[in-house]
Amino acid sequence: MDQRTVLIINPRRGFGAAAQVARMEGALKRLGLHFDTRLTGGRGHATALAERAVSDGYETIVAVGGDGTINEVVNGVVGSSVTVGALPLGGNNDFLRSLGIWTWREACLVVARGTERQLDLGLAEYVGEDGRSARRHYVVLADVGFGSEVVRNTPGRFKHALGGGLGYVVSLYRTAGRGQARARRMRVEADGQVRQEENLLLVEALNGSYAGGGLRVAPTAVMDDGLLDVFTVKEMHWAAIWALFPRIYRGTHLDHEKAAYFRARQVLVEAER
């Protein structure tokens, strides 16, 4: 790869993250890649670093971290011609899983060889808790309901001690068991057609197959078909939620009586607070 390349690294704690970064940097150098590095300093910093890298003339920006780091980098390069790469660090690497890249060595080969693929990019437009309208691009999923509650209830110490994926799963069961899996009245439109208007536990619009640190939520998703894969779950008891998620992990949940699954280019969700 002859393009100017910079690695934007999320310096995570735990699980030998520093050693893992060193291994990946060493592998890239042995593969002949020349690159600069930048370290993030907190939430949102990867976006600022990516914006600066674009203005500095870098042609390839590699996000080193989990899905959150990739998401931030992508939001910093939207509208430019920069190529985005990804190297896994931490537990939530659903973006790479959805691409069939399962190890850091595979990811290093893809980056060093300059292998490119044009993918879809999701855009979420929403009203935040402060009542203000906002918009954000995403590479994995946007969700309403239970999924966002799980993320909110996942302490940073879970992510650092257990890794992002396992920390998410533990928080998922804790959230359900504490009775925080509350269904809301929602109206779901897909490409202008009403698909559901009832009490729903969650609505997820996915770009790839995996979410939540290895849950195979959308097993038939294709990341370059121009469509979102939408998964919804109706109201159910917390014990039934516990029983459903092992099936989601295996990708055998689409025929569940409380689930719905469809594809659309545009999805509108209106939910009660």
Single-letter amino acid, residue 200: L
Sequence ranges of the domains in the chain? 5-113, 122-271
Give the SS3 label for residue 155. Answer: coil
- Quick one: pLDDT at residue 148? 61
d(CA 164, CA 139): 17
Contacts of 92 (CB under 8 A, 6+ apart): 66, 67, 68, 164, 165, 168, 212, 213
Least confident of 69-83, 117-131, 156-170, 175-189: 156-170
In the chain, the percentage of residues whose pLDDT exceeds 90 is 68
Pick the CATH number of 5-113 from 2.10.77.10, 3.90.700.10, 3.30.450.20, 3.40.50.10330: 3.40.50.10330
What is the Cα–Cα distance from 270 to 273, expressed in whole angstroms?
Answer: 10
Tokens of 31: 């593969």
**Average pLDDT, whole number, for the chain?**
88
DSSP H/E element including 143: strand 141-145
Q: Could you tell me the pTM of the whole model?
A: 0.87
Rg (CA), the chain: 19
| Per-residue pLDDT, 168 | 60
For 213-264, write each residue's pLDDT tens digit: 889 999 999 999 999 999 999 988 878 888 888 899 999 999 999 999 999 9
Q: Using CA atoms, how far apart are residues 236 and 200, in angstroms rounded to an integer?
A: 9
User: 183 or 138: which carries more pLDDT confidence?
Assistant: 138
Contact by Cβ (8 Å): 189, 195 = yes
pLDDT of residue 90: 74
Instruction: Give the number of residues written for the chain.
Output: 273
Sign of CA dihedral 251, 254, 256, 259: positive
- Structural domain 122-271, CATH architecture: Sandwich (2.60)
**In this predicted model, what pLDDT tens digit does every residue of 155-190 receive, in sequence order?**
555 455 445 555 566 656 565 555 556 778 999 999
Same CATH fold assignment for domains 5-113 and 122-271: no
